[in-house]
Structures are given as C-alpha cells and as structure tokens.
Structure 1
Amino acid sequence: MSAKRRVLGSASLALVLVPLTSLAEPPVIPPRAQTPVLHQYDEAPRTPDADDPAIWVHPTRPERGLVIGVLKDAGLQVFDLEGRVVQTVLPPNRPAISAEDPAAPGPRPEAATAACPESESGETFGRFNNVDIQYGFPLRGADGRVRKVDLAVVTDRGCDRLRIYAIDPGRAGGPLFDVTARAAQRVFPERWVQPSPFQPTGESEGVRPNPVDDQSTAYGLGLYRDPSHRFHAFVTQRSRAVVAWLELYEAGTNQVGYRKVREFRFDSRFSIPRPGGGGSLTWAPCREAPEDDPQFEGLVVDQQQGILYAAQEVVGLWKLPLHVSLPRVVDVPQSRLIDPVKSFGAPYWAVPDEDEFACESEAPAPLPEGTIAVPGNPAVGGRYLEADVEGLALYYAEDEEGYLVVSSQGDDTLHLYDREGGWTRERGNRHLGSFQVEGVGETDGHDLVNVPMGPGFPRGLMVLQTGKAPPPPSTEPVNGYEYDGSTQFKLVRWDDIAEAVPPGFTVDTDEYDPRDPHDD
C-alpha cells in the first residue's frame, strides 16, 4: 500500500497543577444506580456481555438523559438514569435463537437474519463493542430538510463496520433508530502485520488482506468534532497496533457514512535502557497469540484541545495531537507514550501452551522446552497503571482544566490525571490520584459528563461497566452452554468521587457544552 509517511513529532511544556496526596488505599465510591444484571453463556447465540457505555445529555431536560451500553453479541441497550431498560437494539446480522437457549435481550425464539456480508464461513455475525455520542450532526430527513441530530456511533466488531443511530427521545419505538449508510463498507479490509522480534510466526512485516472471519476488526472508538465543525471517528483494530482516523459525512436521506482519512501505526518494539546503564536494548510485550499485536481499545478525544488519548492494553497511555498537518500513514514515536503500565519493559518468559504462549514474569522451574526468555529492565515501568489499560474519559472543568480518568483493569482502580496544559508537555499529564467503585471490577469501559443530569447527579455523572456482577441463582449449563460470567453498568455521582479524594480536587464545571464544544 503506497502512502505518504511521516513520524509524528514531539514537544515539551511546563507543569501547572499540583498533584494530590498519594493514596495508600484508594477510596471506594458507592454507585447511585445500576442496570439489570446480564448473564453470559459461552458461545450461546446472542448472549449478552455488557462492555462500553456512553452518556447522552438531553438538550433541555437533564433528568431525561440516557445511558447507552453495548452488549456485544446482544447489540446494545438504552437505559434511563435509574438504570431501567428503555430500548434494546439488536445487531442487524445475528444468528437464530431458540426458546431453550440462555436468556438474551430481544425476542426468543427468532430466526437468523444473515451472517456478515464478507463472512466466508457464514458463521460470523454482528458483535457490538464500543459506543460514543456525537452531538449536532447535520442530517437530511425524509422531508428534505437538514436538521442537527445527535448520534450514537457503535463499532460492530463482528462485521467490521460502524453502526450509526440517530437519537430522538420522543420517538415512539424508542430513542435510537438506524441511520447507517446502506453502502457502508468495512473499516479494516487490510491489516498491517508487524511480527514480534522474540516470538516468530514466519510472517514478514507488511500489509495483508484481512478476512472478516479472523476478527481483526473495528474495536475501540472515540468521536471528535473539530473547530471547523467536521466530524471524525477514531477506531482501533482488534489484535493490531493501529488506530484509524475516519470522517463522518451525510450519505443521503437519513444516512450517515464514513471514510478513512489516515492511520496511526504504533511500533510494537521499544528501545529501553539496559539495567545499570551501558546502552539500550530492544523490548516487546509478550504475546499470548504470537500473530497478534498488542492492541488498543480505550479512546477519548479532548474536544477543546484537539488531543487523542489512546489506551494500549499491555503497554500504556498514549497522547497524540490532532491539530497538526499529518500524512495518510503516521508512524507514532515512542515519545508519545506518556504513562506506561507497571509491567512495561520488564523481563518475561513466554512458555509454549499449545498454539499460544503463557506469559510469565518469573522463570518457570523446570523450564519447559521452547520457552522464550526476553530480557528487560523493570525500572522503566510505570508507577500507576496495571495492565490491561482499558477505558478512558474526560471531565471538563473551568479554565481548560479538568481530569482524564483511566481504567486500570489489572487492579480494578481508576486513575485521575490532569487535563490542563495541552499536548506540548514532554511526558504528559500529571497523575493526581486514584479511586475504586463499589461492585466494579474487570471494567471494560466508562463514560463521564460534567453537566447536571437531574437531581440524582447534580454535578455530573460517571457510568462504568463491571465484569463482576452477581451470578445467576444457578450457574449450571443452559441448553448445553456453559455459564461465562455476569455484567452490568453502575451509575456514580461525580460529587461522590470529588468528596472521597484529598483536598485540592474540584467539581467546578465550566461553560463547556458537549453539544457545541467549540462555541465561544
């Protein structure tokens, strides 16, 4: 694939905020509401598995805001601010489900619709993974008039597409309706392969065709409206160290399309100092599946400063400027990694486990045949984040201050970083503190707004997915399918978070309007 390439530059800047007192034990915040528990059964048709949430702010009635959560094979659900289900939206491509199968949202029994259009096996169906909200998109309706509508944009990981839904709170059939362009194509018809230097697969580096059945497909998502009021979507690729930059556009009456603008590529090899000095060495994260790159999922864009934050699960937090001239393919330098995970750079042992590897931080005894020992330097690891790094969200405060909230899935904590200072700081945002949410663990995603959301959430709302929801009364198999965990979403008051951390933290909001972030 021919394309202009250029390395994304780095710069430096001064620190402004004073860090909060370090917490030995993070405070635990109680949720104020929660959604119904969903129970997943391995490989069952349309089985629900809550993942990433998004919060929609009502234009005039904050108490009528909505939470939109993806349920993977089961599509997505819309909830009110008390956690009650308002609407269920199923993937357009879904398998048949019988009356005997495990419980799933939507009708049961139901005949199959169709597999994903490019599925050669005929067994790959829609699977929703991440969701984000875009306000004020100009869309032409059936009457020919152009109106500004709010959108819920979803990555369909199964079919490798974006699914786009307009939000109308007064609509009789539910607030969401599909406005995806009928001609919408795959997001990642190709994949960039960069083999590990330590766990060879025999495949050379380069761009390859990407069969949809392999599921190296659209995964994480973050939306952005730039100061010139163009609309963008940033999408990660499952099992790849890639983030695609897409543009959203009107594609006809009640249709929203997307096209690729450029691609960020991240080298999976890192140069780190040798222990004790004396030069550097090459290090790469351990891969359980040697053909898979260390992937990204969590994304969020600072709408006012034009900054993309990206979470690479086993590597750490990256920070990329968006308001500079960039080529179609951008090689991101290591200097843009602003906070690595604790295990970054550490030595490890990749132990063969059938066709994959078990990644061990200490040498097994005895050492199994075929074990790959990779040297490293534990001193270069981060101080705060425990792999995997998952969800990202921003809280906007006055005078362009505020907070970036990062999910550290490995230890079930959430971390606060300052937002102030733009993108020119050498190492990036200052760590300010951490907290946990009661009943939340193994969280895959969260969202956050700084505006009042009714009397229950007067200074802002945070919604988090939890992979540690209560199990069903019986965990025995249903129709031959094994129980595989329970999930739900928790709703938290921002005031409760602010009151639980040391003095110096604030709940002050600004005139920031999520519907028009660049309106002066």
Structure 2
Amino acid sequence: MHPVTSIIAVVGSATLLVACTEQGADTRPETLPATSATPGELTLQVRSANGISAQRLIAGEQAGSLVISSEGIQLLDSDDKPAATALPGYYDALAVHQDAAGLIAASHDLQRDQPVVLRWNAAGVAAAPEYLPSTGYPLEDLCFYQDQSNHDYLFLIGEEGLGQQWLIGEQGATSRLVRNLHLPVGAKGCAVNTALGALFISEEGIGIWQYAAHPETDSTRSIVDLVQPWGTLPEGPEGLAATDDGLLALDTGSNSLHRYRWQNQQWQHDSWQLTEGSKPEQLSARAVDDTLQVLITDDNGVQLLTELTGVTRPANTDSLPEVLALSQTQPVPHGGDAADDPAIWPHPSIPELARVLGTDKRGGLGVYDLQGHELQYLPVGRINNVDLRKGFTLGDQTIDLAVASNRDRNSLELFAIDPASGRVTGLGDLPTELTDIYGLCMAQSPQGVVYAIPNDKDGRFIQYRLDGSSGQITAKAVRQFKTDTQPEGCVADDARQTLFIGEEGVGIWTLSSAEDQPTELAEVARVSELLHDDVEGMAVYQHQERPYLIVSSQGNDSYVVFDALPPYAAHGAFRIGLNAGQGIDGVSETDGLEVSSADFGAAWPGGLLVVQDGRKRLPEGNQNFKLVPWQPIAELLQLP
C-alpha cells in the first residue's frame, strides 16, 4: 500500500464501498480507453483525485463517509468535511458492513497491532471500540460475512498462511473466535460473496482461491483462476471485490480488471485492459438493478468509475431452516473424528436427571447430564454406536441395559444403568461373528425380549437375542440380513416391531424386527435432493398420533424427518444453527443421533433430540454432542 493514503468507506443505506487514494493528487477529468472481451461494455472515467466525490457518486447523496487518514478513522459529513474522529491512531486496512442493527467497521490498529471493531447503531450512536487479540502474525486484509441467520463474522487474513474467523457480537456483546484458518502463504486480499457463501482469497503470484465462508465447513478450497500459463491472469491478483454474481479482481502488474461470474456450475471469465501507465490497487463494487458499478483506485490516487451490465444473482439452493441447540456436552477427550453416536436415558421420576450416553470411538463412553456436564467416562475401547433398553432382567435384579459396538474386539460392549440414579457400570463384552463391526441398534419385543443388532462394513447385520436370566448375559444369533453396500445407522420402532436401517450411499430400508419374520428389505427413501449421502444416524420419535423417523443427511449437514409408517412421507429437512446467545456453535458432519418424546422438564418441551457434532467451533475443539428441544422442530416442519 502507498505510504501516504486515505482509505474511504461510504456509509449509509447503500452498499458500502472501500477505496484507497493518495492525498494531494491532481484531478484528471478525461475518459480513459479500454479494451474488452465484450466490446463496448466497459467505459472508464476519471472522477476525482481525492476520492470523496467518486465515492459519493456511487453511494448516493444521502451517504456520509468513513475515512482512514493521518488523524485516524474519521467520519465525514454530507459535505465531505470531517465531522468527528471515530478513533485516533494509525491504521492500514478498513472493512465495513451494514445490517439491520446499524454499521460495523473493522480495521487494523498499527500501534497496538490488534484488529479493532467499531459499531454504530441505527440512530448513528457509536459504541466503544472493541479490540480483538493480536493474531501474532502480520495482517494483510480483513472482510465481513453475514450468514443466512444474519450473524455477522469478520475474516482476518494473514500473510503467513494463517487466518481467523470471528463472530462479531452485537452492541454490548463480546466478539468470539470461531475458528482458525489455513490459507495460502502469499494471501493478500479477501472478499466474501454472501449469495454463494464463498470466501475468496488472492494469493500473490498464484491466483484466486475459493473457500466456504460458513464456519460449519471444512477448509477445502477450489480454484477460481490462476496466473498464466495455468490460468488467464497475466501476472497475479491484488484487489478483490465480491459482486452479486461472483467476483471482480485487479491484476496490478498487467493493469487489467477481471470479472468472474458463476454460471452453470462454472466460472465465466471476462477481462479488460486499464489505462496504460496506471497501477490499480483498490477495488469496490455494488449492484444497482442489473448494473454493476465499479470503483478503481490507482497508485496515484486517481479513481476510475465504470459500469458493467448483466448482473444476475445466483439462486441459493442450499438454504434450509434452522433450529438451535440449548446445551452441548463437554468435548470428548480424544481429538479428530472421535465422537459418534448418542443414546438418551430418561429418569423414571425426575425428568431433569436424564442422562445422555455418547460414544468416543477412540477410547470409550461418556455420560452427561442435560446441561452437558460429563458425569462419567468409561475407557472401554473404540466403541462406535450405542443404544439402550429399559427393564432388562439380570439374575435377580432389573437393570437398564446399554450395548455398544466395540471395534477393538468386534464385540458387543455391555453396560448396566442403575434405574434409580442413572449411574453406568461396565459389564464386559460378548464376541460377535462380524469381522469389521460398525453400527448397532437395539430392539425389544412385546414380550420383553431384548435384541442387539450390530452391522459390519460389508453390509451384514446379525440380530442377537440377549438373555441375562442366569446372572450373566449371553447372546444368541437368531437371524441375519444384508445390504449391498456399507451400512451404519439403524433404529427399531418397538411399538410396531419395525426396523429401519441406513445404507450410507443408497438410502433407507425397513423390515420387521421380529426374529421369526422374513428379512427382505423394503425401500423407505433413496438418496435424493432431500436426503444426501452419507445416510448416518437414525432415530424414531414416538408421537401419540404417529411415529417420525429422523435421519442424519450428512452430505449437506441436515436432518430429514419422515413418517415412520407407510408410505413414509417426507416432512422436510432442517439444520441446527449457531446459538449466538448461548455461545453454542452450529452442527455439521453428524454421524449419530437419538430422539425421545419423554418428559425432560420445562426446558425441553415435547422431547429431546441429541446429535453428534462433527466440527466443534466457537472455539475449535474436540467433537461433542448438541441437545435440541423437539418442539421447535415440530413447529418448523408443521408436525402434529
């Protein structure tokens, strides 16, 4: 960036623009020639040397300006005169964002070496500045993002391949680190396209990368464009600006402007040569109807204004309604892909004393209360799925029995749950005939016979009848059935003697859970636009009028609800979003889940859904389980 600069952001009801100008440059009122991939589409005009009038031309006469100058961050009035100094000091970057609550700005305080967030409410009243912790590495750029639920985030882009995503608190609330980012070492600029949910990063000498902006995503990236000869950029991108239909980029070394539009699932590219001898540095853009207004600032502070036509906002086909978790468990003790499957144990007389059992497939079983506190951890090995049934006879006593699939020994891991206190005790394990045990569920007949039904990665299911009358639990295989490809999730509807099983890449099947019935599989649902592979966790909600089947549609981080009776009509899908007020992150990559319609107290009207969270954010950490009340789900999907 030029050593003597003023960075200007227009504020007001219009889209906010940012530009960089050198103070004291001369105005050159002339039209500049340009070449275009679409002849006649691009016309560049010099509008101002100090940048203020050009900014106001784009933003409208009602807008003021936010300026970085030698005085600090300043507010300009409607006549472009300094009205107040919002924050004195020295700064080298500026991002602005406007939402329903007011205006948010972010910059980098060079003296403190800290990012700073400024807020103004809708009436223009400023809040105290909020300083974020120093990143510990040099910052190159920062940019805002707003998700579909109107949560505001700030990306901090560092030059050493590191970055951060922060959840920006509303006025009076503290911002919180959501996740750390791993970016190109030569990252220079960033821009966010909200419609595409895309974070764009320019890498010096390499090209432009696209990342998912939503925090409940991984850090995989895709190429937008590379430098020649691998791509179409002559030398390398510098400034970036998001547009409604894609992205604009400045190639500083070649004095060219590049436009990328996302159409038909691919990037359409156009480019134009700018004025010979100029060196474009900063770029801003906004859409007015179907026209894109673009502001370019070169290294001499001259601002160039142009318009591009044919702006089409891409449809957001991935938007689903959200519910919120009210609590979350402590993270499992092992890192990586560890937490997997929960089970819910309702207390027989005190709803608030219910327990959640959660597997840690790298070490054991956790036991949690409804506030998410870990009460017990049983280090019994790599257990994958867990289920439970009440009223199991073990010798001369009655226990509640939990069974899990143990991948260390291809066995059934057994646990006794004290019916009065909910305390869990290990009972050892029983061998199975499976060679690569994976998922598991339990079933109970009308006569009280309890079954454990584990499956193998090769598609085999074995139904074991469990008997504890002798005081020792035994398991007898009573039938087998098979899917063509890998299964995992399964659940039994004991009231109707029905078993549902999930074939991860194919769909959902059903058959009777009775040991003497045929094992032919009947189709419930196939992988589709609604149900995405992998088909993972499954559970049955016992409504008084009809049962519902809830399935983890892992491929798009959602949950699909079906009738659990033929013809298995689908009621729709939902996601579990960020609960900013409680500091609970959203949910993604869910493996296992469980649901219950039992009474869990006033905080859980209608019952409880527990899901495994594959990506722990806010802050990042080991995986855990999220607890969601059923009533908001029923209201969202208009379930009886």
Using the TM superposition, give the Cα deviation of residue 324 of structure 1 relative to its aligned residue in structure 2, in angstroms: 7.6
Kept after mapping to 1: 8 A contact 2:611/2:625: yes
**Residues 179 and 251 of structure 1: is their aligned pair in 2 closer, same or farther, counting only changes over 3 Å?**
farther
In the other structure, the counterpart of 2:574 is 435
Secondary structure, aligned partner of 1:497: helix
Using the TM superposition, give the Cα deviation of residue 488 of structure 1 relative to its aligned residue in structure 2, in angstroms: 0.6
Amino acid at match of 1:470: R
Secondary structure, aligned partner of 2:495: coil
In the other structure, the counterpart of 2:486 is 295
- 2:443 is the alignment partner of 1:224: yes
Equivalent-residue separation in structure 1 for 2:475 and 2:562 (angstroms): 32
Kept after mapping to 2: 8 A contact 1:52/1:130: yes
**When the two structures are aligned, how many residues end up with a matched partner?**
316
Q: Say which of 320, 343, 348 aligns to 1:59.
A: 348
Q: Say which of 387, 390, 393 aligns to 2:539.
A: 393
Equivalent-residue separation in structure 1 for 2:468 and 2:353 (angstroms): 28
Kept after mapping to 2: 8 A contact 1:462/1:491: yes
Residues 87-486 of structure 1 aligned to structure 2 (within 5 Å): 87-91=376-380, 126-140=381-395, 146-168=396-418, 175-180=423-428, 184-188=430-434, 210=435, 216-217=436-437, 219-237=438-456, 239-250=457-468, 252-253=470-471, 255-266=472-483, 268=484, 294-323=485-514, 325-326=516-517, 330=519, 332=520, 336-342=522-528, 383-399=529-545, 401-421=546-566, 428-438=567-577, 439-470=586-617, 486=622
Equivalent-residue separation in structure 1 for 2:491 and 2:482 (angstroms): 17
Equivalent-residue separation in structure 1 for 2:631 and 2:385 (angstroms): 26
Kept after mapping to 2: 8 A contact 1:408/1:414: yes
Kept after mapping to 1: 8 A contact 2:466/2:475: yes
**Residues 228 and 434 of structure 1: is their aligned pair in 2 closer, same or farther, counting only changes over 3 Å?**
same
Equivalent-residue separation in structure 2 for 1:393 and 1:468 (angstroms): 21
Gaps of 5+ in 2: 1-316, 578-585
Secondary structure, aligned partner of 1:297: strand
Equivalent-residue separation in structure 2 for 1:432 and 1:259 (angstroms): 38
Using the TM superposition, give the Cα deviation of residue 26 of structure 1 relative to its aligned residue in structure 2, in angstroms: 2.3
Kept after mapping to 1: 8 A contact 2:393/2:469: no
Q: CA RMSD in A?
A: 2.2
- 2:320 is the alignment partner of 1:26: yes
Using the TM superposition, give the Cα deviation of residue 147 of structure 1 relative to its aligned residue in structure 2, in angstroms: 2.3
Equivalent-residue separation in structure 1 for 2:492 and 2:324 (angstroms): 27
TM-score of the pair, normalised by structure 2: 0.47
Equivalent-residue separation in structure 2 for 1:77 and 1:228 (angstroms): 31
TM-score of the pair, normalised by structure 1: 0.57
Equivalent-residue separation in structure 2 for 1:35 and 1:398 (angstroms): 29
Amino acid at match of 1:453: F
Q: Say which of 367, 370, 387 aligns to 1:81.
A: 370
**Residues 247 and 324 of structure 1: is their aligned pair in 2 closer, same or farther, counting only changes over 3 Å?**
closer
In the other structure, the counterpart of 2:84 is none
Equivalent-residue separation in structure 1 for 2:569 and 2:400 (angstroms): 33
Secondary structure, aligned partner of 2:468: strand
Equivalent-residue separation in structure 2 for 1:257 and 1:300 (angstroms): 22
Kept after mapping to 2: 8 A contact 1:251/1:257: no
In the other structure, the counterpart of 1:288 is none
- 2:624 is the alignment partner of 1:488: yes
The structure richer in strand per residue is 2
Using the TM superposition, give the Cα deviation of residue 471 of structure 1 relative to its aligned residue in structure 2, in angstroms: 7.7
Kept after mapping to 2: 8 A contact 1:39/1:472: no
Secondary structure, aligned partner of 2:461: strand
Using the TM superposition, give the Cα deviation of residue 450 of structure 1 relative to its aligned residue in structure 2, in angstroms: 0.4
Kept after mapping to 2: 8 A contact 1:39/1:471: no
Secondary structure, aligned partner of 1:437: strand
**Residues 471 and 30 of structure 1: is their aligned pair in 2 closer, same or farther, counting only changes over 3 Å?**
closer
Equivalent-residue separation in structure 2 for 1:178 and 1:223 (angstroms): 17
**Residues 496 and 259 of structure 1: is their aligned pair in 2 closer, same or farther, counting only changes over 3 Å?**
same
Equivalent-residue separation in structure 1 for 2:357 and 2:525 (angstroms): 29
Kept after mapping to 2: 8 A contact 1:465/1:489: yes
Equivalent-residue separation in structure 2 for 1:433 and 1:128 (angstroms): 31
Secondary structure, aligned partner of 1:459: coil
Equivalent-residue separation in structure 1 for 2:331 and 2:416 (angstroms): 26
Using the TM superposition, give the Cα deviation of residue 52 of structure 1 relative to its aligned residue in structure 2, in angstroms: 0.1
**Residues 41 and 304 of structure 1: is their aligned pair in 2 closer, same or farther, counting only changes over 3 Å?**
closer
Kept after mapping to 1: 8 A contact 2:575/2:587: yes
Amino acid at match of 1:489: F
Equivalent-residue separation in structure 2 for 1:429 and 1:59 (angstroms): 31
Q: Which of structures 1 and 2 has the bigger CA Rg? A: 2
Kept after mapping to 2: 8 A contact 1:301/1:307: yes
Using the TM superposition, give the Cα deviation of residue 455 of structure 1 relative to its aligned residue in structure 2, in angstroms: 2.1
Equivalent-residue separation in structure 1 for 2:488 and 2:366 (angstroms): 20
**Residues 61 and 53 of structure 1: is their aligned pair in 2 closer, same or farther, counting only changes over 3 Å?**
same
Secondary structure, aligned partner of 1:52: strand
Using the TM superposition, give the Cα deviation of residue 316 of structure 1 relative to its aligned residue in structure 2, in angstroms: 0.7
Equivalent-residue separation in structure 2 for 1:83 and 1:175 (angstroms): 15
Using the TM superposition, give the Cα deviation of residue 60 of structure 1 relative to its aligned residue in structure 2, in angstroms: 0.9
Equivalent-residue separation in structure 2 for 1:418 and 1:320 (angstroms): 15
Equivalent-residue separation in structure 2 for 1:38 and 1:300 (angstroms): 24
In the other structure, the counterpart of 1:354 is none
Secondary structure, aligned partner of 2:623: strand
Equivalent-residue separation in structure 1 for 2:517 and 2:636 (angstroms): 42
Amino acid at match of 2:624: Q
Using the TM superposition, give the Cα deviation of residue 465 of structure 1 relative to its aligned residue in structure 2, in angstroms: 0.3
Gaps of 5+ in 1: 1-22, 43-47, 92-125, 141-145, 189-209, 211-215, 269-293, 343-382, 422-427, 474-484, 507-520
Equivalent-residue separation in structure 1 for 2:547 and 2:441 (angstroms): 18
| Superposed CA offset, 1:163-200 (max 9, x none) | 111111666xx81112246xx32342xxxxxxxxxxxx
